[in-house]
């Protein structure tokens, strides 16, 4: 567990293998602030990397996360101001999971997600997130924003998500693949 502040973890391509730890344990558990984790390979943890509760002003950059029993990258329970960029995720149960209503100001961009088992990047209700330039291949890629209550909540949430100003799709002028 990382609880300090003003910390940079430069992995230089090192591999952290979580073989033998519990299915819900995190290999890297960030609860501090002003932290950068980059150029690290995370393999086979419960959650490979997690930012929760008191974690804020965190940048996860150039990470690869594979084989997590739960989440490849998990951000939740009040964490805020977190950026996930230029990452590769494959073979995790869930690739990226942003959860709980007090989690806010999350940015995910230029990240490649492959072969997830349950669902694609998931953003729970009321989490404020900016998600751009993701490439998802294989498995189910799901992204939606919506909140509703009552008997028709699924239809209402879907309509809200489809009409959201955050959701815009355009391939006009696109050439090749940007990653």
7 near 58, Cβ under 8 Å?
A: no
Q: Alpha-carbon distance 27 to 43, whole Å? A: 9
pTM strictly above 0.85: no
What confidence tier does 43 reach under pLDDT thresholds 50, 70, 90? Answer: very high
Q: Alpha-carbon distance 36 to 20, whole Å? A: 26
Q: How many CB atoms sit inside 10 A of residue 107's CB?
A: 14
Burial 90-106 (b: 16+ CB within 10 A, else e): bbbbbbbbbbbeebbeb
What digits encode the pLDDT tens for the residues 54-63?
Answer: 999 999 999 9
Q: How many CB atoms sit inside 10 A of residue 79's CB?
A: 28
Closest CA to 167 of 132, 139, 136: 132
pLDDT at 170 over 70: no
Burial 29-51 (b: 16+ CB within 10 A, else e): bbbbbebebbebbbbbbbbbbbb
What digits encode the pLDDT tens for the residues 67-113?
Answer: 999 999 999 999 999 999 999 999 888 899 999 879 999 999 999 98
88 near 111, Cβ under 8 Å?
A: yes
pLDDT at 114 over 90: no
Angle at 166 between CA 164 and CA 168, to 5 degrees: 90
At residue 176, the pLDDT reads 46
Share of the chain above pLDDT 70, in %: 75
Count the helices and strands in the chain (H runs, E runs).
1, 12
For residues 162 and 6, which has the higher predicted lDDT (pLDDT)? 6
What digits encode the pLDDT tens for the residues 116-154?
Answer: 777 668 888 778 888 888 877 654 444 445 556 667 766
Encoding tokens for residue 19?
């073989």
């Amino acid at each position: 567990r990382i609880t300090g502040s003003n910390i940079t973890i430069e992995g230089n391509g090192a591999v952290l293998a979580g073989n033998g730890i519990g299915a819900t344990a995190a290999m890297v558990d960030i609860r501090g602030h002003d932290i950068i984790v980059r150029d690290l390979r995370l393999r086979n943890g419960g959650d490979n990397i997690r930012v929760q509760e008191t974690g804020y002003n965190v940048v996860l950059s150039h990470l690869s996360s594979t084989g997590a029993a739960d989440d490849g990258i998990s951000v939740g329970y009040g964490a805020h101001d977190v950026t996930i960029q230029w990452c590769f995720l494959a073979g995790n149960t869930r690739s990226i999971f942003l959860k709980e209503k007090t989690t806010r100001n999350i940015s995910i961009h230029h990240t490649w997600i492959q072969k997830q088992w349950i669902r694609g990047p998931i953003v729970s209700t009321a989490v404020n997130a900016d998600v751009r330039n993701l490439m998802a291949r294989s498995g189910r890629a799901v992204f939606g924003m919506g909140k509703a209550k009552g008997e028709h909540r699924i239809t209402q949430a879907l309509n809200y998500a489809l009409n959201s100003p955050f959701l815009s799709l355009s391939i006009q002028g696109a050439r090749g693949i940007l990653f």
